[in-house]
Amino acid sequence: MTPLLDARDVQVRYGSLAALAGVDLSIHDGQRHALIGPNGAGKTTLLNVIAGATRPQRGTVVFGGRDVGRLGPAARARRGINRIHQRPAVFSTLTATENVVVAALPRVIPQRRWRPGGRRRAAQHRAGPLLEQMGLADVASVPAGHLAHGQRRQLEIAMALAGRPRLLLLDEPAAGLSATEVGRLVELLRALPRAVAVLLVEHRLDLVYALADTVTVLRDGQRLAAGTPDEIRTSPLVRQAYADGVA
């Protein structure tokens, strides 16, 4: 079966430092894939490469059977690679609804293309249910800059879903959330449509094991191990890597 995402031999160097040294990663449709590893392992760099924010010096990124290596973040988003950032990235002066509308616009198809404003109306129709699903209906008309951190995170998930993603990149989505908010986040991520593949970068291993069906471990820019959560949990190699990384 052809993978949805196939990154091969990805190399990113910053001067003499190899952030990624020939990493391979494949993700299939609907897969929940987690990337873990100590700080500096290259997780976020790999996410950046897949999202198009960082261009690798070597390697290929194939998405949906097409080489997307030369495409920027906008073109990749239009092809279905959407991202949730480590710090919630929302449009602070726009209302929650407007945020979702903006995110939905590139991938909505208006019912009547010739009607002015049809695309925006279609995006508006998409925003309401998504805000409802994320528990943000009561703050739909509040500027995003006035929302609490956890609400902004939920809004960003709504925005990512509004773009009809085929692959959702989650960069430490639990960062800065309270225990209650993390619980809510897990519920929301578990409820994501199965058609959406997820690549999760997360330090909280309880969250990784709760959500992922495949885990890849990076260390020093290289793939150290890959397998199911159970395999990774019991891998002495991985435990050693974490012990070294924490130390």
Partner 1 sequence: MRNEVIRWGRGGVAALVLVGLVVAPWVVDDYTTAILARTLALALVGVSVALLTGVAGMPTLGQTAPYAAGAYACAVLGSRISDVGVVQVAVAAGAGAALAALTVPLVVHARGVIVLMITLAVGELVVTVLGRWRSVTGGTDGLAGIPAVRPFWGLPVLATDQARYLYTLVVAATLVGAVLLLLRTRAGLLLRAGRDDETRLRASGHRVPLLVSGAHVAAGAIAGAAGSLLVVAQQYISPADFGFDTSALLLLGVVIGGTASVGGALVGAALVIAARDWLFGVLPGHAPLVLGALFVATVYLLPSGVDRARLRPRPTDVPPVHPDRPAVREHAGAAPELRT
- For residue 136, the minimal CB distance to partner 1 (Å) is 8
Dist CA 63 CA 212 (whole Å): 20
- For residue 9, the minimal CB distance to partner 1 (Å) is 25
Q: Does 102 bind partner 1 (CB under 8 A)?
A: yes
Instruction: Figure out which of the listed residues 82, 167, 173, 226 binds partner 1, where binding follows CB under 8 A.
Output: 82
3-state class percentages of the chain: helix first, strand second, coil last, to nearest 5: 40, 25, 35
Q: Does 117 bind partner 1 (CB under 8 A)?
A: yes
- For residue 42, the minimal CB distance to partner 1 (Å) is 18
CB 217 within 8 A of CB 36: yes
Q: Does 94 bind partner 1 (CB under 8 A)?
A: yes
Find, among 49, 144, 68, 63, the residue nearest to 102 by Cα.
144
Tokens at 219, concatenated: 């260390």
CB atoms within 10 A of CB 178: 12
Q: Pattern of binders to partner 1 over 222-241, x per CB under 8 A?
A: -----------x----xx--
Q: Does 5 bind partner 1 (CB under 8 A)?
A: no
Nearest CB to partner 1, comparing residues 11 and 86: 86
Q: Does 40 bind partner 1 (CB under 8 A)?
A: no
Dist CA 87 CA 108 (whole Å): 26
Nearest CB to partner 1, comparing residues 57 and 92: 92
Instruction: Figure out which of the listed residues 22, 30, 64, 176 binds partner 1, where binding follows CB under 8 A.
Output: 176
Q: Does 37 bind partner 1 (CB under 8 A)?
A: no
Dist CA 77 CA 71 (whole Å): 10
Dist CA 130 CA 58 (whole Å): 38
Dist CA 200 CA 212 (whole Å): 8
Instruction: Figure out which of the listed residues 37, 42, 56, 163 binds partner 1, where binding follows CB under 8 A.
Output: 163
Q: Does 87 bind partner 1 (CB under 8 A)?
A: no
Q: Does 78 bind partner 1 (CB under 8 A)?
A: yes
CB 194 within 8 A of CB 220: no
Q: Does 41 bind partner 1 (CB under 8 A)?
A: no
